[in-house]
Structure 1
Amino acid sequence: MENEKIAVGLDIGTTKIVAMIGRKNEYGKVEILGIGKSKSLGVHRGVVNNITQTIQSIQQAIKEAETDAGIDVKKVMVGIAGQHIRSLQHSDYITRQNFDEVIEEKDIVELCDQVHKLVMLPGEEIIHVLPQEYKVDGQAEITQPIGMHGARLEANFHVVVGQISSIRNIVRCVTNSGLELGGVNLEPLASANAVLSQEEKEAGVALIDIGGGTTDLAIFKDGIIRHTAVIPFGGNVITEDIKDGCSIIEKQAELLKVKFGSAWPGENKENEIVSIPGLRGREPKEISLKNLSKIIHYRAVEIIEQAFLEIKNYGHEEQRKKLIAGIVITGGGAQLKHLKQLVEYITGMDTRIGFPNEHLAGDTERETTSPIFATAVGLLMKSISNQEQENEEEQEDNSTENRQVEVSKTDETSTENKQTEQLNEDATQQNGKGSTGPRQSFFDRFVEKLKDILDKAE
């Protein structure tokens, strides 16, 4: 097994940290080699608030993944989310000096670099610059300008911005865990790559990733990212409400939510009751499943309405912005019973649960294809993609160097040949030989000179 082809995705979530090791197989699918999970202790709503605890959790997850895969890892692709993330739309352009030549990759890189220089609010940093569509000399709606002629290259960008301190804290946690940072990727984008098909992105789709501490939203239309948002609450607030509403401890509240919880109260009858063991020396507590569903329902409605508000802000009711593929829900919160029906009822849009199995190898374990691992799978895919890009660039650099070496060798050879020819011509002229006669070799000339010296000596 070649360790160079191994990639790692690291999902630093509010409730759990997942390390996923994998590679691309011969069929172009992602093969999962090892998974490590640990309880996330130093993260609140997607933001690191305890460096030491987060480092310990990362190390635990990585160690478990390494043991599972039998491989030591160094470089990881890390996901970033949290309430500090915001996005904005921006247009920019460059004027090309060499407009006689076609537009190349370097022109697009120059345009993106220009957007990276935008002045942000104090303490903010640009995480992603995502081109949406291009204009070449005023001609609009161009998806790929490479190969076209034009003097003015313009583009609309989706710019993702985050707090410098929050990003640096995540980077510090990764590097202090003995790992190398292979890149940072916005978690909604990672989840989208894992669970959405290209057809859905073309038709128009909204991805709602309900995590423990945050709910991430990504909207695609015409195959392009149009809107991203991070809503600062997720499945944990539902657990908190159950804990307070039923007067039980958090661990019991989480178990109740996962095993018996439903987002639709009408499903439960009045007489359906579950018994919870009491604390030490206390009587067991009986909880009505109908009341449990009501608690979950109110908070789930709040989360969905907040996400739907972002979809409305994007302008999905306009004909050209219509989301034909509807909504895809993923993340740990997507496993809540009857959530799909609730989303359809509130939004009036077609909804499905997003499983990260489309890009995974056929023999992947069922547990790994759960929506809970959507972000980790997406980060792993991004890590593999980055590796392939680096390898291609390396090969291009090597071939360029080889060509340069060959050209320089050819130049040296031709120079040597010219110098030799010049010497031969000079020698021929000195010996009184005509240009029509065959050129003498150095050895022949040496023999002739030696003969002359011997003749004179006699």
Structure 2
Amino acid sequence: MEEDNIAVGLDIGTTKIVAMIGRKNEYGKVEILGIGRTKSLGVHRGVVNNITQTIQSIQQAIQQAEANSGIDVKGVTVGIAGQHIRSLQHSDYITRNDVEEVIEDEDIDNLCNQVHKLVMLPGEEIIHVLPQEYKVDGQSEIMEPRGMSGGRLEANFHVVVGQISSIRNIGRCVKNSGLELNGMTLEPLASANSVLSQEEKEAGVALIDIGGGTTDLAIFKDGIIRHTAVIPLGGNVITEDIKEGCSIIEKQAELLKVKFGSAWPGENKENEIVSIPGLRGRDPKEISLKNLSKVIHYRAVEIIDQVYLEIKNYGHDEQKKKLIAGIVITGGGAQLKHLKQLVEYVTGMDTRIGYPNEYLAGETDKEIASPLYATAVGLVMDGLERKALDKAELEAEDQEENPVNAEQPGAKASEYNKDGITEDSREGEDRQTIPEQPNQPARPSRNVVEKWFDKLKDFLDNAE
């Protein structure tokens, strides 16, 4: 049976589907209890194009994870990606009725709800509304407006938009696999949570997640997400180029890329050759490693150029927007030999490979702490965070419904009259005792993303 402190991340990728079960240990680190990985069938460039095949792949991955962990999976947190995702910057404001009253969660929710009314292209819907910074009565660069007073509350937003049909198809696949949809997260955000440190997000960093079908980009500065983009090119395009360029089958091309591939042609000597078995009794094929790395190099440069264009569009050249922490590359494509050096050469920015080991428990298997599983680890972390928030919300509701008086055990609640003054305080001395109020935790507000997610769940529940 699935426990309260356990979350399951489901990464539906173009080449693989990963189901990962994890929980938080006593040190606040994520302990991976089980993992299932299957070949992804029915997904092209992050978009589901065959629901039946995708459901089968999801079920296989979940069964593997259940067998590894001995835990019965009920619900999952799933990632959204694909070439249909785009983002835009938007500014909006609300005018408050009472200038003297302090700004609360409700005001921020009203402002975010207003952004959700933006008119999108047909078939598109807003997925995430991410506030950048606020203005209160013209005072700018406010990161936390709660507690301030003012008449006009304004904010800059980073708005993530996607094709609603693609998102609903992912929801349908999860539901038809016999699973509950606990949450949806943009995959670049999930990857960023698992491989980036808070210091990097503050200094300014670009996370490049190179998957099979797409390359995701997330840019952070001053601890806030500033830009996201999905480039419809990934590791599969490199494999396709090797297949065409060397006239071999896809399976052999993938194996060549993983075992002998390099993004830097100068590394290989002219006489380095690898022999590929021929098909059905045909002669083996000899392939020069220098030619192989040239094929990989040209396509890798194209992907990096497109990513770098997005980084420049964000405004990296401006002093104020400079990304001091440089670039972090993660995802399956980050394992390509010499890719780090190529990224540094093309962009001129400091680069490192992003491993999700910072937030994982010490005894985690090395294979899991690989860039390949960065998104899945991030989805598990997101699922655990959601469960913690839901638990806090339930506790807050319980305290509101059943307030506990701060009196000694055994004292009767009826000893307090309607004014909150103890009856016995009226006898003898002329003093009044006001009972202490219990320390109630602040009730977490439900953000706009959660409300959008509830709408999606209702749609899936009502769909036949």
User: Normalization by structure 2: what TM-score?
Assistant: 0.87
Matched, 1:340 2:343: no
Query: Which residue does the alignment assign to 2:221?
Result: 221
C-alpha distance in structure 2 between counterparts of 1:332 and 1:356, whole Å: 13
User: How far apart are 1:95 and its partner, in Å?
Assistant: 2.0
Query: Which residue does the alignment assign to 1:244?
Result: 244
Query: Which residue does the alignment assign to 1:434?
Result: none
C-alpha distance in structure 2 between counterparts of 1:23 and 1:105, whole Å: 30
Q: Could you say if the C-alpha distance between residues 256 and 154 of structure 1 is closer, same or farther in structure 2, counting changes exceeding 3 Å?
A: same
AA of the residue aligned to 1:156? N
Query: Which residue does the alignment assign to 1:12?
Result: 12
Q: Secondary structure at the match of 2:189?
A: helix
Query: Which residue does the alignment assign to 1:140?
Result: 140
What residue ranges of structure 2 are gaps of 5+ in the alignment? 406-411, 424-464
User: How far apart are 1:99 and its partner, in Å?
Assistant: 3.2
Q: What pairs up with 1:48-447 in 2 under 5 angstroms?
A: 48-403=48-403
User: How far apart are 1:33 and its partner, in Å?
Assistant: 0.6
C-alpha distance in structure 1 between counterparts of 2:419 and 2:332, whole Å: 67
AA of the residue aligned to 1:46? G
User: How far apart are 1:388 and its partner, in Å?
Assistant: 0.7
Q: Could you say if the C-alpha distance between residues 7 and 408 of structure 1 is closer, same or farther in structure 2, counting changes exceeding 3 Å?
A: farther
Q: Could you say if the C-alpha distance between residues 407 and 333 of structure 1 is closer, same or farther in structure 2, counting changes exceeding 3 Å?
A: farther
C-alpha distance in structure 1 between counterparts of 2:380 and 2:413, whole Å: 41
AA of the residue aligned to 1:27? Y
Q: Could you say if the C-alpha distance between residues 11 and 352 of structure 1 is closer, same or farther in structure 2, counting changes exceeding 3 Å?
A: same
C-alpha distance in structure 1 between counterparts of 2:414 and 2:93, whole Å: 39
Q: Secondary structure at the match of 2:169?
A: helix
> CA deviation digits over 1:116-152, x for unaligned, max 9?
2222111001110001111111111111111222222
Query: Which residue does the alignment assign to 1:42?
Result: 42
User: How far apart are 1:268 and its partner, in Å?
Assistant: 0.2
> CA deviation digits over 1:168-210, x for unaligned, max 9?
1000000000011111111111111111111111111111100
What residue ranges of structure 1 are gaps of 5+ in the alignment? 418-458
Q: Secondary structure at the match of 1:3?
A: coil
User: How far apart are 1:101 and its partner, in Å?
Assistant: 2.5
Q: Secondary structure at the match of 1:378?
A: helix
C-alpha distance in structure 2 between counterparts of 1:308 and 1:225, whole Å: 17
User: How far apart are 1:348 and its partner, in Å?
Assistant: 0.5
AA of the residue aligned to 2:310? E
C-alpha distance in structure 1 between counterparts of 2:234 and 2:349, whole Å: 21
Q: Could you say if the C-alpha distance between residues 412 and 319 of structure 1 is closer, same or farther in structure 2, counting changes exceeding 3 Å?
A: closer
Query: Which residue does the alignment assign to 1:422?
Result: none
User: How far apart are 1:262 and its partner, in Å?
Assistant: 0.1
C-alpha distance in structure 2 between counterparts of 1:168 and 1:385, whole Å: 23
Q: Could you say if the C-alpha distance between residues 408 and 4 of structure 1 is closer, same or farther in structure 2, counting changes exceeding 3 Å?
A: farther
C-alpha distance in structure 2 between counterparts of 1:410 and 1:175, whole Å: 51
User: How far apart are 1:408 and its partner, in Å?
Assistant: 10
Q: CA RMSD in A?
A: 1.9
Q: Secondary structure at the match of 2:386?
A: helix
Judging by fraction of residues, say which structure has more helix. 1
Q: Secondary structure at the match of 1:287?
A: strand
AA of the residue aligned to 2:158? H
User: How far apart are 1:285 and its partner, in Å?
Assistant: 1.0
User: How far apart are 1:404 and its partner, in Å?
Assistant: 9.7
C-alpha distance in structure 2 between counterparts of 1:119 and 1:293, whole Å: 46
User: How far apart are 1:412 and its partner, in Å?
Assistant: 8.4
Q: Secondary structure at the match of 1:114?
A: helix
C-alpha distance in structure 1 between counterparts of 2:48 and 2:348, whole Å: 36
Q: Secondary structure at the match of 2:403?
A: helix
C-alpha distance in structure 2 between counterparts of 1:151 and 1:398, whole Å: 34
User: How far apart are 1:102 and its partner, in Å?
Assistant: 1.9
Higher deviation after alignment, 346-355 or 403-412: 403-412
C-alpha distance in structure 2 between counterparts of 1:241 and 1:256, whole Å: 12
Query: Which residue does the alignment assign to 1:27?
Result: 27
Give yes or no for contact 2:262–2:338 (8 Å, CA) kept in 1: yes
Query: Which residue does the alignment assign to 1:420?
Result: none
Higher deviation after alignment, 148-157 or 281-290: 148-157
AA of the residue aligned to 1:8? V
Higher deviation after alignment, 281-290 or 230-239: 281-290
AA of the residue aligned to 2:148? M
AA of the residue aligned to 1:123? G
User: How far apart are 1:413 and its partner, in Å?
Assistant: 12
Q: Secondary structure at the match of 2:4?
A: helix
C-alpha distance in structure 2 between counterparts of 1:355 and 1:3, whole Å: 27
User: Normalization by structure 1: what TM-score?
Assistant: 0.88
User: How far apart are 1:2 and its partner, in Å?
Assistant: 7.0
C-alpha distance in structure 1 between counterparts of 2:240 and 2:417, whole Å: 75
C-alpha distance in structure 2 between counterparts of 1:374 and 1:150, whole Å: 42
Q: Could you say if the C-alpha distance between residues 283 and 159 of structure 1 is closer, same or farther in structure 2, counting changes exceeding 3 Å?
A: same
AA of the residue aligned to 1:260? F
C-alpha distance in structure 1 between counterparts of 2:328 and 2:167, whole Å: 28
User: How far apart are 1:410 and its partner, in Å?
Assistant: 6.1
Q: Which has the larger radius of gyration?
A: 1
AA of the residue aligned to 2:292? L
AA of the residue aligned to 1:394? L
> CA deviation digits over 1:402-425, x for unaligned, max 9?
1399999967899xx9xxxxxxxx
Higher deviation after alignment, 303-312 or 102-111: 102-111
AA of the residue aligned to 2:32? I
Q: Secondary structure at the match of 1:367?
A: coil
> CA deviation digits over 1:275-315, x for unaligned, max 9?
11111111111111001000000000000001001011111
